[in-house]
Structure 1
Amino acid sequence: MPSLSTLPLVLDAARRLGPRPVLLAAWHRGPARPLARTRLRDAAVPAGPFLPGRAPAAPALPEAHRAAVLARAVALPAPDWHGPFAPRPFALDLDLFRPGDVRPVWERNRWAELPLLAQAARLDPAAGHLARAEALLADWAAANPPFHGPNWACGQEAALRALHLGLALALLGATRSPPAGARALLALHARRIAATPAYASAQDNNHAVSEAAGLLACGLLLADRVLARQGAGRLAAALRRLVAPDGAFAQLSTGYHRLLLDVLAVTEWLRRGLDGPPLPAPAPTRAAAATRWLHRLAEPLTGALPRLGHQDGSAFADLALAGPEDARASVERAARLFCGNSAGLAAEPGCAWLGLPAGPALPPPPPAWMSEGVQGWQVDGARALLRTGPLRFRPGQADLLHLDLWDGPLALLRDGGTGAYNPPAEAGWWHAHFTGTTAHNTIAFDDEDQMPRLSRFLFARWPECGPLPDGAWLRDWRGRRHARRVRAEGRRWVVEDRVGGPFREAVLRWRLCPGDWRAVPGGVAGPAARIEVAADAPLSCALEPGWESPAYGSVVPAPVLTARVRAPVRCLTTVITLAHQS
């Protein structure tokens, strides 16, 4: 129960979330708990065979990719299924925070090895890769008895495992007659997904999509029409609610947007291969719009994405071995499936494994564009991305009006990243810092976040906010106002920040890329750019040490240009002059 001091914040957050997610969460924590326990009664540990005994020949592939797949398959690490978590307690009774960060444990249990070993078996049938995959599944099943331990605690994780298993079966030509062990595993995973539907729906994020997709895939692979119809209905409803017509996802995160596309792509490919009925409108058009949205944000030469929102380092169904830092293969696969287009990688090997032909190229992003929660510009080799409003769904970070600025593949002004969801005690400051306002390129008033934090993943008193033709605005719960306008003048970018309301101090931060930066009057200069800040009040600029998280679980030093100004002040103007293009 909330304390009297936090009750106003709880009520405020509930009002902003809306009755649907609040009632679903209450149902999940109350009457649905005993129902879930009933649905998840102990079951027998599945026995093999889990996979077919032979693999078909591989498609034509670049030699470098063939070598990379075989090398990665040989180098797979020994499994660590549970990390610091107890393997035997009933999954829904586990404390998923006190022992440590469950996120890396779940990542290691998504069965990403299965598609990889299936690929390797097709490339080198005599090397024992299928036997290794079979042994991996047998070991996992024995170490994770149904519905006990951390790996049965989350319906989404069950769904992602089922999708990876389905993908491996499809690569091995066994989706229409899965071996008995695979059918048993899929049935157990379908039970786990179906046991807690209210939790997934209440999140209004990737859980609702992934779990519905997993249920649909299980139904198709098991030839269970009722299960497939249930999964398809939930997936269509989730896409209708959570993906805007312009392609923006309710969970504003480039990393989770990529996961959205990867999950949808695997599900759609399985559906086509098993002759499942297509999803009803508007699901297909929303999937296509979500593809175009991420295409705008992916750097075309490297596939790097801005660190907008939470980033957990996922690279789901990564047949191209692109890794979490390169989203181009994900965008290419989704473009071929949902848009009938290519995103510029005609020879993308993951699509070759799936037999997806390249189509005409997607149109390039326009010079200026706007979607729900984001506004973007592309001018003279540089591009900017502004975090805007309004907030229809809960924000994951206090990052409103954050600006990313890229010059070609260089993220010049960047988001601080994520750190970890549940870092170790010595790094306990990570989560609050990286989700807070000071870890973003925006203005913080009086050293406060833009909204008060209620819990690890929930803020209260969300600011009023919205887009402007050339920027965005916000008004926080204390009445403090910030309007940001962005304009590009060739290689010169101008950011105007107008502020108002009851504050003592405003601090503007520009989080810089690593480099040889030096302080100059009113700003900084370096090989990549010169950045100068001016205001209509006395201003103090400094080049300060900060932190950034380039990958989940990793935090490194980063330079930060900080401009401090005390009230009364109305306007701060930043001029960013990019280096000449070589």
Structure 2
Amino acid sequence: MPIHASRPLLLADAAWRLGARPVTLLLLHRMRVALGRPQRALPDGRPAVAPFLPESALPPPAVDGTAVLHAVAALPPPTHGRFDPAAHALALDLFAPGDVRPVWEANRLAEIPLLAMAQRLDPGGGHGAQAEARLGAWCASNPPFRGPNWACGQEAALRALHLGLGHALAGGGAVPAGLRALLRAHARRIAATRAYAAAQDNNHAISEPAGAFACALLLGEDPAPHAAALAAAVARLVEPAGGFAPVSTGYHRLLLDVLAVAEWLRRFHGAPPFPAPLPARAAAATRWLLRLHDPATGALPRLGHADGSRFADLSLGGAADARGSLERAARLFLGASAEHRGDPGCAWLDLPVPGAVAAGEARWCAAGSRGWARDGARAVLRTGPLRFRPGQSDLLHLDLWDGAVNLLRDGGTLSYNPAPAQRAAAAALEDAGGHDAVVFDDREPMPRAGRFLRARWPATGLLPEGAWSRDRRGNRHARSLSGEGRCWIVTDTLSGPFRSAALRWRLPPAEWRSTGSGVASALGRVSVAADAPVELSLALGQEAPRYGELREVPVLCARVARPATRLVTTIELP
């Protein structure tokens, strides 16, 4: 990915904006690595061996188990990708061989809870033996602490949570020796790089104490320190209105899934309630994602990083369907239903169907976002404040949904470590031009200081029905929403020393035709007017509908030059 201007200056700027805490924690981590402390804390060890899971005699819940049996019949083999499985995990180059994210996803042991469920559905089908065999093979091919699958503390934490869930779904009770050995290794891996996790101010800081909590529960140790650490991380990263530090629907879903599994394991093992403010913040975070999902399909906007991660997906909805995640979180944290009462994942967890339903809202505001809903459509605006590092240059991006149709959309995330031929496309999707916003003078407002780090964050603020941002050059963009019924009006007010400005609206694939003032299709009509001459064009752009995939989409672009100060977009839905 291209990094602009002088990197040391950009790094200094980004460090100043991040603040002392994460920078100090990262420097502490790097100092510890230079001294070899995490490496010494993770010496070579014997792989764990069976038995791993209890022999289940529990009956299944009253659900259709066809999807579970189908899923466990086609499990892929474990993989190291192109990474060296023999190298010490902390000595690996995690970028040169390719994208490590798919390798990590495939090694989260998400199949273990599913195999425990399958064993209860079909006791004679050998699924328990299959789970034992897969765990044994994984341990043999991933000895502590070698290869890419021990390189990340968060990945160890997610595996530990899946193991805890699998043990409980298989009946719980005494923890077999093999599982105890495997969990001890995971607890050690999580503990080795705690400063790095805390420095990230994202899912790492939530997942890792949650994984340590699960390990303590199953190993018969005191879980209270890990519960306190998890509550402290939630207090820092989830604000009272439910906004999460990384403004990303994908990362937010992972947050809820991790907290939900931790809460369910806490109840299963009879541990004390989590300290405040975790319960209230988890409830607020649940409401935040509920507002954004499409109730008919479970689809979410692709706000921020969208890598398609799935965790504890007992409903088997996959990355594209968050209904199972939301129903589980709503029952655990809101004591209400997300109106997906027949969710099979909740039935497996024996979560009763609440009488109450989580209510929607016509307008809402949280740190980093605000939204509106009316007449079957909903909109979400990416706003400030930028208290934590922004994952993408997406300030004032607007997503508009009409039911299940994502009419105005984000370009998505292609890859965290794309192949050389795709690097330009991947970077473009994460830059300002990959979003539904205004770009001044075709210049990126937040240049890259690193792979996951941006510098020169704009100033931001809220408006009565919108928000504004001002870049380092003094160019100010204010965006407000209005309209009524099925008509939405977006007003973009511009000021500053810019010479030109480009407003882009990324559209879904459809038969779009020019109307002179914009475009129209069966999905709706989009018109743009300005207080100065405006040049409209409809061209093919690109988007990543899923992580790792790229396709062409229509993009409406409206260009103006000084002295233009206002662009007004009218969206008429059918």
Structure 1-normalised TM-score? 0.96
2:122 and 2:100 map into 1 onto residues whose CA distance is: 35
Q: What is the Cα deviation at residue 46 of structure 1?
A: 1.0
Structure 2 CA distance for partners of 1:548 and 1:131, relative to 1, 3 Å: same
Q: 1:396 aligns with which of 391, 394, 408?
A: 391
Pair 1:370 & 2:365 matched = yes
Whether 2:92 is the aligned partner of 1:94: answer yes
Q: Secondary structure at the match of 1:493?
A: strand
Q: What is the Cα deviation at residue 432 of structure 1?
A: 1.1
Q: Deviations over 1:392-445 (max 9, x none)?
A: 111000000000111111111111100111111221223311110111000011
| Residue of structure 2 equivalent to 1:38 | 40
SS at the partner of 1:361?
A: coil
Does residue 186 (structure 1) correspond to residue 183 (structure 2)? The answer is: yes
Note if 1:161 corresponds to 2:159.
Answer: yes
Gaps of 5+ in 2: none
Aligned counterparts of 1:535 and 1:407: Cα–Cα separation in 2: 25
The aligned counterpart of 1:143 is 141
Which residue in the other structure is 1:83 paired with? Answer: 81
> For 1:328 and 1:4, how far apart are their aligned partners in 2?
43
Q: 2 CA distance for matches of 1:297 and 1:444? A: 25
Q: Secondary structure at the match of 2:311?
A: coil
Distance 1:164 1:15 in 2: 38
Take 2:9 and 2:99, find their aligned partners in 1: how far apart are those partners? 30
The 5 A counterparts of 1:201-350 are: 201-225=198-222, 228-350=223-345
Q: How far apart, in 2, do the equivalents of 1:442 and 1:430 lie?
A: 18
8 Å contact kept, 2:78–2:138: no
- Residue of structure 2 equivalent to 1:59: 61
Residue 21 (structure 1) aligned with residue 56 (structure 2): no
Say which SS state the counterpart of residue 550 (structure 1) adopts: coil
Q: Which residue of 1 aligns with 2:382?
A: 387
- Whole-angstrom distance in 2 between the partners of 1:469 and 1:370: 11
Provide the residue aligned with 2:12 in structure 1.
11
Aligned equivalents of 2:530, 2:53: Cα separation in 1: 66
For residues 450-479 of structure 1, give each alpha carbon's deviation from its aligned partner in whole angstroms, at most 9, with x where no partner exists.
Answer: 211111110001000121110000000111
Gaps in structure 1 of 5+ consecutive residues: none
Query: Would you say the 8 A contact 1:420–1:552 is kept in 2?
Result: yes
Cα shift at 1:489: 1.7
- Counterpart residue type for residue 200 of structure 2: Q
Q: 2:429 aligns with which of 428, 434, 451?
A: 434
In structure 2, how many angstroms separate the alpha carbons of the residues matched to 1:135 and 1:482? 58
For residues 430 and 182 of structure 1, what CA distance do their matches in structure 2 show?
A: 43
Structure 1 residue 6 displacement after superposition: 2.4
Equivalent in 467, 477, 484 of residue 472 of structure 2: 477
Q: CA RMSD in A?
A: 1.3
Misfit runs of 4+, over 4 Å: none
Displacement after TM superposition at 1:75 (Å):
1.7
CA deviation vs aligned residue, 1:25-53 (integer Å, no higher than 9, x gap): 00101135522112101111111111123
Q: CA separation in 2, counterparts of 1:49 and 1:299?
A: 42
- 2:197 corresponds to: 200
Question: Which of 110, 113, 119 is the equivalent residue of 2:111?
Answer: 113
Cα distance between partner residues in 2 of 1:164 and 1:278: 21
Q: Secondary structure at the match of 2:314?
A: coil
* Identity, % of aligned positions: 59
Q: Tell me the distance in 1 between the aligned counterparts of 2:129 and 2:176.
A: 14
Deviation for aligned residue 1:117: 0.8
Q: Normalising by the residue count of structure 2, what TM-score does the alignment of the two structures yield?
A: 0.98
Aligned to 1:519: 514
- Judged with a 3 Å threshold, the aligned counterparts in structure 2 of structure 1 residues 555 and 118 are, in CA distance, closer, same or farther, namely same
Superposed displacement of residue 319, structure 1: 0.7
CA-to-partner distance for each residue in 1:306-337, whole Å, 9 max, x for gaps?
A: 11110111121011111111111101101111
Cα separation, 1, equivalents of 2:529 and 2:279:
48
Q: Counterparts of 2:113 and 2:213 in 1: how far apart (Å)?
A: 19
* Maintained 8 Å contact 2:4/2:448: no
More displaced 10-residue stretch of structure 1: 345-354 or 19-28:
345-354
Shift of 1:4: 9.9
1:117-128 pair list within 5 angstroms: 117-128=115-126
- C-alpha contact (below 8 Å) 2:488/2:571 kept by paired residues: yes
| Deviates further, 161-170 or 44-53 | 44-53
Superposition deviation, residue 363 in structure 1: 3.7
Structure 2 residue 505 is matched with structure 1 residue 510: yes
8 Å Cα contact 1:443/1:507 also seen in 2? yes
Shift of 1:54: 3.5
SS of aligned partner of 1:429: helix
Aligned 8 A contact 2:512 2:519 in 1: yes
Contact 2:55 2:171 in 1 (8 A): no
Please say if residues 54 and 174 of structure 2, whose CA atoms lie closer than 8 Å, have aligned partners that are also in contact: no
2:336–2:358 CA contact under 8 A, matched in 1? no
Counterpart-to-counterpart distance in 2, 1:460 and 1:354: 44
Please state whether the residue corresponding to 2:545 is helix, strand or coil. strand
**Matched residue type, 1:346:** R
Q: CA deviation at 1:57?
A: 1.3
d(CA) in 1 for partners of 2:436, 2:269: 47
Pairs aligned (count)? 571
Change (3 A) 1:240 1:125: same
Amino acid at match of 2:68: V
What is the distance in 2 between the residues matched to 1:532 and 1:319?
A: 43
SS across alignment from 1:560: strand
Cα distance in 2 between the residues matched to 1:560 and 1:499: 21
Q: Which residue of 1 aligns with 2:531?
A: 536
Aligned-residue offset at 1:204: 0.2
Q: Name which of structure 1's ranges 315-324 and 45-54 shifts more when overlaid on structure 2.
A: 45-54
Higher relative contact order, structure no. (Cα contacts within 8 Å, ≥ 6 residues apart): 2
Q: Whole-Å Cα distance in 2 between the matches of residues 68 and 527 of structure 1? A: 35
Contact 2:80 2:148 in 1 (8 A): yes
Structure 1 distance, partners of 2:565, 2:359, is: 38
Counterparts of 2:171 and 2:545 in 1: how far apart (Å)?
A: 38
Name the aligned partner's letter for residue 162 of structure 1: A
Letter in 1 for 2:456: R
